Amino acid sequence: MIQERDELAAGKPCLVTHELSAFFGQSRVVSNVTIDFRDREVTAIIGPSGCGKSTMLRCLNRMHETVPGASATGTVTLDGTDIYAPGADPIAVRRHVGMVFQRPTPFPTMSIRDNVAAGLKILGRGAPRGSDVEDIVEGALRHAGLWDEVKDRLGESAIALSGGQQQRLCIARALAIRPRVILLDEPTASLDPLSTQKVEELVYQLKQDIAVVIVTHNMQQAARVSDRTAFLLMGDLIETAPTNTLFTAPTDPRTEAYITGRFG
């Protein structure tokens, strides 16, 4: 069922799932998905609403299990280490696999600076201090393309920013702890076209360093930003291919039906 075609040279697999299934109580929302996400590549996950895109994404940093009654089976390895192995610490996993959500989620009680530094404070003994924190905050904000807009008001509340700025702030916050992979769950769904464009440009920047997985219900967006695309339907992974190939010459008739707009 899974179609794997010409390999791109860009990256080695760094986050790999094998027979991954996800459940809410007894109901299975993701079935036996085996897929790899590669270093310095953007992988888009597309599919109709309710097909399990977000749930699958949330399995990749063990956020799925934070919902009462939710569980997952199968394996997910990050650089060869099974993040679902007994004794694997979900907190450590989440520090290596960052996540940004559909709606911007700045911490409303914190300043812009503290929002970006929020993930650093909890690193324990290895936590950076003083001017190191300032440098990391600046680096993360620059990386997220937000520095010039906020450099003069780092001490102000984060909720004073616009929606698009808040979302880039959340990306900066995720980047500050230097994750191996960043998961974007419909990051532009609540943004206007201009902010969407900025976030998409940012996604392009991100893949220079790390692996990016983006869930989107917008096929144009998937075509614009991703190197490879996975099509999910009713919890099944139908097809994975380089984005150009998937959108121009899909192998599975269901993929073709979806991308030509016959359903979904």
Partner 1 sequence: MSALRRRKAGNIVMLALTYVAAVLATLPLLFILFHLLQQGASTLTPDFFTNMPRPVGEAGGGMSNAIVGTLILLGIACIIGLPVGVGAGLYLAEKRVGALAMTVRFLSDVLNGLPSIVLGIFAWQFLVRPFGRFSALAGGIALGAMMIPLVTRTTEEMIRLVPNSLREAALALGYPRWRTSLSVILRTAMPGIVTGALVAIARIAGETAPLLFTAFGNAFWSTALDEPIAALPLQIFAYAISPYDEWHAQAWAGALVLIVIVLIISLAARHATRARFGSAAD
Nearer to partner 1, 94 or 143 (CB): 94
DSSP state of 110: S
On whether the CB atoms of residues 203 and 195 are closer than 8 A, the answer is no
* Smallest distance from partner 1 to CB 227, Å: 24
Q: Which is nearer to partner 1, 182 or 259 (CB)?
A: 182
Residues in a beta bridge with 214:
44, 184
| Between 64 and 207, CB nearer to partner 1 | 64
Integer Cα distance of 67 and 77 in angstroms: 21
Complex with partner 1: residue 69 or 253, whichever CB lies closer:
69
Burial class (CB in 10 A: 0-12, 13-18, 19+), 130: exposed
Taking the least distance from each CB to partner 1, the nearer of 8 and 122 is 122
Which residue, 22 or 259, is less far from partner 1 as judged by CB? 22
Least separation in angstroms between CB 127 and partner 1: 12
Query: Shortest approach of partner 1 to residue 66 CB, angstroms?
Result: 6
Can you give the binding site for partner 1, defined by CB under 8 A? 61, 63, 66, 91-92, 94-95, 98-99, 101, 103, 105, 107-109, 111, 118-119, 122, 153, 155-157, 159-160, 170, 173-174, 177
Question: Of 60 and 219, which has the nearer Cβ to partner 1?
Answer: 60
What would the two tokens of residue 180 be? 């191996």
SS3 13: strand
Which residue is associated with the tokens 């929002």?
A: 115
CB of 28 to partner 1, least distance (A): 22
Contact 57/29 with Cβ under 8 angstroms?
A: no
* Residue 257 neighbours by CB under 8 Å, 6+ apart: 263
Q: What are phi and psi of 71, to 5 degrees?
A: -150, 165
Q: How far apart are the first and last CA of the chain?
A: 20
Q: Which 3 state secondary structure label does DSSP give 50?
A: coil
